[in-house]
Copies of this chain bind each other. A is one copy, B any other.
């Protein structure tokens, strides 16, 4: 408590990691209780039982705390999602497996994520579309590539580079709908997810038909326009 941030006890290994985690946990508690806007770094330090200087030593700002929250979520979610995929076969089943892991993991912080969803401008470092979030985003797009690959669905070559990113966008849309969903137990999101997952899986299966090549051309052309050369919006270029 109140240790100088530069003391050896906070800068060395496990102890340091514990303090960092404690501050992050305290921040999440406060964000959930009071909202992201009103909570100050001072409140967070107090809640964590550390000196203000120590809090700033680990996190330069509230934004840094949010980034840490996303990074930890990504780190913890990745193995859970891969594990869920090992038990799921069909594409629809695999999509459900991944999304259910995400919904369950994020449930305690749904309100916080609603507040954070204000950051959608790709120029905001906290936006899921920012260049700062690119590493996390690319790995997440990779998760959807594996969701596709493990299923038996034959994906046509022209769509292959696009589909994982489209699935990622679909999953972002679901999450956004979910954070704003005020129905009991987010029932509306669950209905939407039920119905849309089978539609999405069927569309992907249909998309492989050779006759649909012209339609695929129109679609990939449109996607290239959306992503442009920047590829800042939504994953691997």
Contacts and interface: CB of A to CB of B under 8 A. Distances in A.
Interface string A181-201: 011000010011001100100
Interface stretch (A2-10, A70-78, A111-119, A136-144): A111-119
Interface stretch (A48-56, A102-110, A218-226): A218-226
Given A114-B121, A117-B120, A195 B222 contact: yes
A122 B180 contact: yes
Interface residues of A, number: 24
A183 B177 CA distance: 29
Q: Max chain B CB contacts within 10 Å: which of A119, A122, A123, A228? A: A228
Task: Report the copy number of this chain in the oligomer.
Answer: 2
A222 B193 CA distance: 10
Contacts of A177: 226
A120 B118 CA distance: 7
A182 B123 contact: yes
Interface string A128-140: 0000000000000
A95 to B, nearest CB: 15
Nearest to A188: B228
Contact of A199 (B119, B188, B199, B222): B222
Nearest to A182: B123
B228 A121 contact: no
A188 B119 contact: no
A100 to B, nearest CB: 18
A188 B228 CA distance: 7
A182 B232 CA distance: 11
A226 B114 CA distance: 18
B180 A196 contact: no
Interface of A: 114, 117-123, 177, 180, 182-183, 188, 191-192, 195-196, 199, 218, 221-222, 225-226, 228
28 contacts: A114-B121, A117-B120, A117-B121, A118-B118, A118-B119, A118-B120, A118-B121, A120-B120, A120-B180, A121-B180, A122-B180, A123-B180, A123-B182, A177-B226, A183-B228, A188-B225, A188-B226, A188-B228, A191-B225, A192-B222, A192-B225, A192-B226, A195-B221, A195-B222, A195-B225, A196-B222, A199-B218, A199-B222
